[in-house]
C-alpha cells in the first residue's frame, strides 16, 4: 500500500537524499550528488531565510519508491508579480499512480500555502540552481551541476497534466567542432571590441571578494529579463561564489570591461562529475574525499555555466568572444570537451553566438508547468 510521509527528521532527510542511489544503481550514466552538499542545500542554504519547502517520501509498504519537494519561492513571486509554486528533487519509479500521488501531495502543500497560480518545475529551488528535466541526451552522464533523470520521466510529468513551459539547451564543444575559422572569428571580434574600448581579461583571484561584488551586480542585471529569473541577494551570491572559488581556474573566468566597469562575464568550471561518478552514494568519507582531491588534475572537460552581458552592450560580440576564449583555453590545457549549459531555447542572441563557434545542441532539458 502506497503512503506519503512528510520529511521531518534527520533520518528521513538522509533517506530522501539517498533514494536516487538505489533507483539508479544499474544506470552507468548516473552521478551521485554529494551528500553533504545536498543536505546543506536542503537545510542551511540562504534560500530558507526568505522562502520555504517541504520534502516528501513515497513508500510502498516499507520501501521508498519516490520523492519530491514542494517549494514556495517568495523572491520569485515578488520579482515576477505572480503567485506560483514549484516542485523539485523529483525521483520516482516508472509508475504513473506513484508519480501522481507525489505531484498531488506537492500541489496540495502549495495550495495550503496560498498558491493560486501555477506549479512549475523541476527546479531546485529556482533557475539559479539545478533545474529542468532531461528530455534529450540520455546516452551519457551529466556534467557538473546539471540534472539527470531516466527517459521515462517526461511521460510521468505529462501524465499528471504538466506541459512545456520552456526548453533549456546544453551545447557541446569538442576538438572536431572548434576549428581555425572559429579562432579567427573570435580574434576579429576581440579587435572590434578593443576599438570600442572594451577589454576582456581574466578574473583576479587575489582580489576575489571585490571581483565577486562586481560580478553580482552584472549577474542580476544581465539575467533580469530571462524567464523565471530570480535575482540573488548578497548572501545567496556569496554562498555560490564561495563554492565556485574552490574549483575555479582563472583561465576559465573572464570579464568584459568598459572604462574599468564590468559589463559582462563568463565562467566555466572543471567537470567534477568525472570524479563524482566514482564516489559511492556521494559520501566523501572515508575515501571519497581523496578521489575528489586527487582526481581533479585528471578532469578532461569543463562546463561553461555562466555568461551574461548587461543591456546596452549586447550584440557587440562580447558573448561569442568570451565563449571562444574559454574554449581556446580548454584546448590549450589538453582537455577533450566543453559543455555550455544552459541557454533558453528562444535566446537567439546567445544561441547564435554559440552556433558561430560551432557549438552542438546535444542535450535538451524542459521546465514544465500546470495550473494549480
What tens digit of pLDDT does each residue of 130-182 get? 899 999 999 999 999 999 999 999 999 999 999 999 999 999 987 665 556 65
Mean pLDDT of 292-314: 82
The better pLDDT of the pair 190, 134 is held by 134
Complete DSSP assignment for 164-197? EEEEEEEEEEEGGG--HHHHHHHHHHHHHHHHTT
Residue 129, pLDDT score = 84
Q: How confident is the model at residue 205 (pLDDT cuts 50, 70, 90)?
A: confident
Rounded CA-CA distance 228/233 in Å is: 16
Q: How confident is the model at residue 287 (pLDDT cuts 50, 70, 90)?
A: low
Residue 297, pLDDT score = 76
DSSP secondary structure letter of residue 50: T
Residue 298, pLDDT score = 83
pLDDT at 225 over 80: no
CB 171 within 8 A of CB 340: yes
Residue 249, pLDDT score = 85
Residue whose C-alpha cell is 530522501: 16
Residue 228, pLDDT score = 60
Q: How confident is the model at residue 357 (pLDDT cuts 50, 70, 90)?
A: confident
Q: How confident is the model at residue 288 (pLDDT cuts 50, 70, 90)?
A: low
Residue of 5, 17, 9, 15 lying closest to 124 (CA atoms): 17
159-188 core/surface letters (b: 16 or more CB in 10 A; e: else): ebebeeebbbbbbbbeeeebeeebeebbee
Helix (H, G, I), strand (E, B) or coil at 342: strand
Please say whether the dihedral angle defined by the alpha carbons of residues 268, 294, 335 and 25, taken in this order, is positive or negative.
negative
Q: How confident is the model at residue 226 (pLDDT cuts 50, 70, 90)?
A: low
DSSP secondary structure letter of residue 32: P
- Ordered structural domains, the chain, with CATH: 2-166 (3.40.630.30), 172-365 (3.40.630.30)
Angle between helices 234-245 and 208-222 (to 10 degrees): 120
pLDDT at 239 over 90: no
Q: For strands 85-92 and 118-121, give the pairing.
A: parallel
Q: What is the pLDDT of residues 325-356, one digit of tens each?
A: 888 888 888 888 999 999 999 988 889 878 88
Residue 191, pLDDT score = 87
Lowest-confidence region among 56-65, 105-114, 329-338: 329-338
pLDDT at 79 over 90: no
Mean pLDDT of 233-257: 83
pTM of this prediction? Answer: 0.90
Residue of 365, 147, 128 lying closest to 273 (CA atoms): 147
Cβ count near 342 (within 10 Å)? 21
Q: Where are the beta strands (DSSP E) in the chain?
A: 2-6, 52-60, 63-72, 85-92, 118-121, 123-124, 130-131, 133-136, 163-174, 198-202, 253-258, 261-270, 301-309, 337-344, 360-371
Q: What is the pLDDT of residues 2-60, one digit of tens each?
A: 999 999 999 999 999 999 999 999 999 999 999 998 999 999 999 999 999 999 999 99
The better pLDDT of the pair 42, 275 is held by 42
Mean pLDDT of 310-332: 85
The better pLDDT of the pair 324, 19 is held by 19
DSSP secondary structure letter of residue 252: G
Residue of 309, 358, 311, 363 lying closest to 341 (CA atoms): 363
pLDDT at 271 over 70: yes
Mean pLDDT of the chain: 89
Lowest-confidence region among 44-48, 231-235, 284-288: 284-288
φ/ψ of residue 317, rounded to 5:
100, 5
Amino acid at each position: 500500500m502506497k503512503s506519503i510521509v512528510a520529511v521531518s527528521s534527520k533520518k528521513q532527510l538522509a533517506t530522501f537524499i539517498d533514494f536516487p542511489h538505489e533507483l539508479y544503481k544499474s544506470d552507468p550514466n548516473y552521478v551521485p550528488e554529494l551528500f553533504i552538499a545536498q543536505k546543506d542545500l536542503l537545510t542551511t542554504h540562504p534560500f530558507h531565510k526568505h522562502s520555504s519547502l517541504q520534502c516528501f517520501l513515497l513508500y510502498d509498504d516499507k520501501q521508498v519508491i519516490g520523492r519530491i519537494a514542494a517549494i514556495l519561492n517568495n523572491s520569485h513571486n515578488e520579482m515576477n508579480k505572480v503567485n506560483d509554486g514549484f516542485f523539485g528533487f523529483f525521483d520516482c519509479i516508472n509508475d504513473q499512480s506513484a508519480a501522481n500521488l507525489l505531484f498531488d501531495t506537492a500541489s496540495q502543500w502549495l495550495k495550503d500555502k496560498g498558491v493560486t497560480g501555477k506549479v512549475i518545475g523541476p527546479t531546485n529551488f529556482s533557475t539559479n540552481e539545478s533545474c529542468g528535466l532531461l528530455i534529450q541526451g540520455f546516452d551519457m552522464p551529466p556534467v557538473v551541476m546539471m540534472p539527470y533523470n531516466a527517459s521515462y520521466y517526461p511521460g510521468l510529468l505529462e501524465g499528471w497534466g504538466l506541459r512545456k513551459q520552456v526548453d533549456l539547451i546544453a551545447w557541446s564543444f569538442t576538438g572536431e567542432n572548434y576549428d581555425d575559422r572559429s579562432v579567427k572569428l573570435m580574434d576579429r571580434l576581440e579587435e572590434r571590441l578593443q576599438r570600442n574600448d572594451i577589454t576582456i581579461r581574466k578574473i583576479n583571484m587575489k582580489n576575489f571578494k571585490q571581483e565577486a561584488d562586481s560580478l553580482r551586480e552584472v549577474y542580476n542585471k544581465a539575467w533580469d529579463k530571462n524567464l523565471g529569473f530570480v535575482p540573488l541577494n548578497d548572501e545567496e551570491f556569496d554562498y555560490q561564489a564561495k563554492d565556485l572559488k574552490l574549483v575555479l581556474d582563472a583561465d576559465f573566468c573572464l570579464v568584459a570591461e568598459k572604462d574599468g566597469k564590468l559589463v559582462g562575464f563568463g565562467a566555466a568550471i572543471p567537470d567534477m562529475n568525472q570524479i563524482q561518478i566514482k564516489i559511492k552514494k556521494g559520501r566523501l568519507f572515508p575515501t571519497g574525499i581523496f578521489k575528489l582531491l586527487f582526481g581533479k588534475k585528471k578532469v578532461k572537460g569543463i562546463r561553461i555555466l555562466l555568461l551574461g552581458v548587461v543591456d546596452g552592450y549586447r550584440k557587440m560580440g562580447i558573448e561569442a568572444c568570451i565563449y571562444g576564449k574559454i574554449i581556446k583555453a580548454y584546448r590549450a590545457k589538453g582537455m577533450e570537451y566543453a559543455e555550455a549549459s544552459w541557454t533558453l531555447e528562444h535566446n537567439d542572441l546567445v544561441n547564435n553566438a554559440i552556433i558561430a563557434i560551432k557549438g552542438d545542441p546535444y542535450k535538451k532539458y524542459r521546465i514544465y508547468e500546470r495550473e494549480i
